[in-house]
Structure 1
Amino acid sequence: MKKNEETFYLVRGDFLPEAMRKTLVVKELLERGKVESIFEGAKQTGLSRSAFYKYRDAVFPFQAMQQTRIITLFFHLEDRSGTLSTLLATVAEAGGNILTIHQTIPIHGKANVTISLNIENITVELDTLISRLKQQDFIDRVEILSSGA
């Protein structure tokens, strides 16, 4: 396996470490509005906030990933001419349909970009698309913020 390769696996829940299972519970509590904050959810489940932040972008319920065709990605990138258009072109070449774009004003030569896209018709695996995006020299970080319809 390549270093930093994002490959997705289907793992039975009882094989997951307790911290990952609790992270899923906190995410569900937040999604359903049963708790108002990560702090409150972590306290309720007996999970440390650091463990939640460690696993939040790494574990997802199978049903959510199976039914989801819309994802939200967060990018931290350099403020250079053409970076946003290159990012959008990479997503479009993979068949992603961009639904929303939000870009912050660059500070110290860096900007944050959040895009929501429909991945129903992508022609590559999601982990391949994310890997391609991470290979762009102007992108410092890519995160999956959410996956929901």
Structure 2
Amino acid sequence: MNKVNYFLVDSSILPSVYSGVIAAKNLLASGEAVSVSQAVKMAGISRSAYYKYKDKIFEYSEQGEDTATINAKLIDNAGVLSSVMSELYLLGANVLSVNQSIPVNNVADVSITVSIANTSITDGELVEKIQNVSGVKSVSIGGKK
């Protein structure tokens, strides 16, 4: 069994075909290109190069650097989660994921992971703003990176 080795390298030292493969993959993922043929043409690489490397090269993302997970208990009333989301929007947070449990005794646990890269709010202010939303019983921040 062959062991796979991975390297994290600066893209400027790699042949341009690798950046082209990443560009083509991004064009397909975003919908800017509707086919591989269109994506490789836009990226300036050949179809054979794309297929040769598409499963071997991946773009590194530091997305975890500015994220926080908000854990809250919400009263099971219509619009409470929506109000929390609106407050997060007003604070400039970008919602990455939401996970809500089925309500038990009229209370649902919710976990919301947000990107806080574009905010200047402190953890305490974030908790206070969410706590002030009608229908929020409790809130805490966990899993901050």
TM-score (normalizing by structure 2): 0.53
Larger relative contact order (CA 8 Å, sep ≥ 6): 1
Letter in 1 for 2:123: L
Partner of 1:75: 72
Letter in 2 for 1:100: S
Contact 2:80 2:134 in 1 (8 A): no
The number of residues matched between the two structures is: 82
Dislocated runs of 4+, deviation >4 Å: none
Alignment pair present for 1:138 and 2:140: no
Answer with 1 or 2: which has the greater Rg. 2
Paired residues for 1:40-79 under 5 Å? 68-79=65-76
Of the three residues 92, 95, 101, the one matched with 2:92 is: 95
Cα distance in 2 for residues equivalent to 1:128 and 1:84: 19
Partner of 1:106: 103
Cα distance in 1 for residues equivalent to 2:72 and 2:138: 6
Q: List runs of 5+ in structure 1 lacking aligned partners.
A: 1-66
Letter in 2 for 1:96: A
Q: Identity rate of aligned residues, in percent?
A: 24
Q: List runs of 5+ in structure 2 lacking aligned partners.
A: 1-63
TM-score (normalizing by structure 1): 0.51
Query: What's the C-alpha RMSD, in Å, of the aligned pairs?
Result: 1.6
Question: How far 1:99 sits from its partner (Å)?
Answer: 0.2
